[in-house]
Amino acid sequence: MTTRWAEWDHIVKIDPDKTLVEGETFEDVCETGTDAIEIGGTTGMTTDKMQRVIDACATHDVPLYLEPSAPEVAVNDEALDGYLIPTVLNAGDPFWTVGAHKEWARMEDDLPWDRITTEAYVVMNPEASVATYTEADCDLSPDDVAAYAEVAEEMFGQEIVYIEYSGTLGDPAVVEAAADATDDAALFYGGGVHDYDSAHQMGEHADVVVVGDLVHAEGVDAVEETVRGAKDA
Ligand SMILES: CC(C)=CCC/C(C)=C/CC/C(C)=C/CC/C(C)=C/COP(=O)(O)OP(=O)(O)O
Ligand SMILES: O=P(O)(O)OC[C@@H](O)CO
Ligand SMILES: [Mg+2]
């Protein structure tokens, strides 16, 4: 089991269903100074699209993790450093907490357990596809989120707690509450990080800042700024 995320400050999440900015390559993305690349998204995922991004990033010197949104797109590739598998704590349907995972184990004879780690998600932006998809209850106070984070670490032994505001910059008080409630688990924050200041602000509380849409919408210069913000925090 590798726990390399203990040393990370920043992740770029590449959505295989989206394109890069014109003139930029996956090599450029890998060279932004980010600590790892996570490949995943909610809608429009296929194994072909996943594989294309894996192949494009595999030759560059940055840890590469797959974050599949369903067992069907969990591509098996030696070029990957591992699999980060969401489990959505506040999902409306337990399928997204444990059911999909059960199906994966049923479908596959030999899952590479030493390369698989779960991320205990708390989904907070009701407008995001991931919230609709998982029917998440996003109406949570900082105390609620802190309690989810504590339970994830202390009762379910989660190594990663992920505060997910995909598409919008979240409430720093929520992230701070989750940080106060966790000791050993790595706290990931993702959602709406778009410049030095937003990365710095969330990085003051979270261990790892995840940047997604920005790489597709603005490109690598903007991502580099967020790397600096997260690392300075
Ligand atoms: C058991 C296996 C192998 C998979 C199941 C994993 C689970 C439970 C997934 C549910 C949560 C999920 C869809 C996570 C994917 C990562 C994520 C949160 C991407 C962000 O998605 P959005 O930004 O909302 O979606 P788009 O950008 O695609 O619109
Ligand atoms: O796309 P953004 O809003 O940067 O969110 C990042 C990540 O948390 C999405 O899963
Ligand atoms: Mg997205």
pLDDT for the residue numbered 96: 98
Interval 141-180: pLDDT, tens: 999 999 999 999 999 999 999 999 999 999 999 999 999 9
Looking at the CA of residue 74, tell me the nearest atom of ligand 1: 3
Choose one of 11, 13, 14, 42 to mutate for the ligand 1 pocket test, by most ligand atoms within 8 angstroms of C-beta: 42
Could you say which architecture CATH assigns to the domain 4-232? Answer: Alpha-Beta Barrel (3.20)
Atom 9, ligand 2: residue with shortest CA distance: 166
Ligand number, closest to the Cα atom of 69: 1
CA of 120 to the centre of ligand 3 (A): 18
pLDDT for the residue numbered 122: 98
pLDDT for the residue numbered 37: 98
The burial class, CB within 10 Å (0-12 / 13-18 / 19+), for 59 is exposed
Question: CA 88, CA 97: separation in Å to the nearest integer?
Answer: 5
pLDDT for the residue numbered 158: 98
Cβ < 6 Å from ligand 1: which residues?
15, 40-43, 67-71, 74, 85-88, 96, 100-101, 104, 128-130, 133-134, 164, 166-167
Q: Residue ranges of the domains in the chain?
A: 4-232
Looking at the CA of residue 162, tell me the nearest atom of ligand 2: 8
Question: CA 148, CA 137: separation in Å to the nearest integer?
Answer: 12
Interval 69-108: pLDDT, tens: 999 999 999 999 999 999 999 999 999 999 999 999 999 9
Is the complex ipTM more than 0.90?
yes
At 1, the pLDDT band (50, 70, 90 cuts) reads: very low
Ligand number, closest to the Cα atom of 211: 2
Annotated binding-site ranges for sn-glycerol 1-phosphate: 13, 162-167, 192, 212-213
Q: Please give the model's pTM, rounded to 2 decimal places.
A: 0.97
Atom 26, ligand 1: residue with shortest CA distance: 42
Interval 23-80: pLDDT, tens: 999 999 999 999 999 999 989 999 999 999 999 999 999 999 999 999 999 999 999 9
CA of 218 to the centre of ligand 2 (A): 14
Query: What percent of the chain has pLDDT above 90?
Result: 97
Interval 175-209: pLDDT, tens: 999 999 999 999 999 999 999 999 999 999 999 99
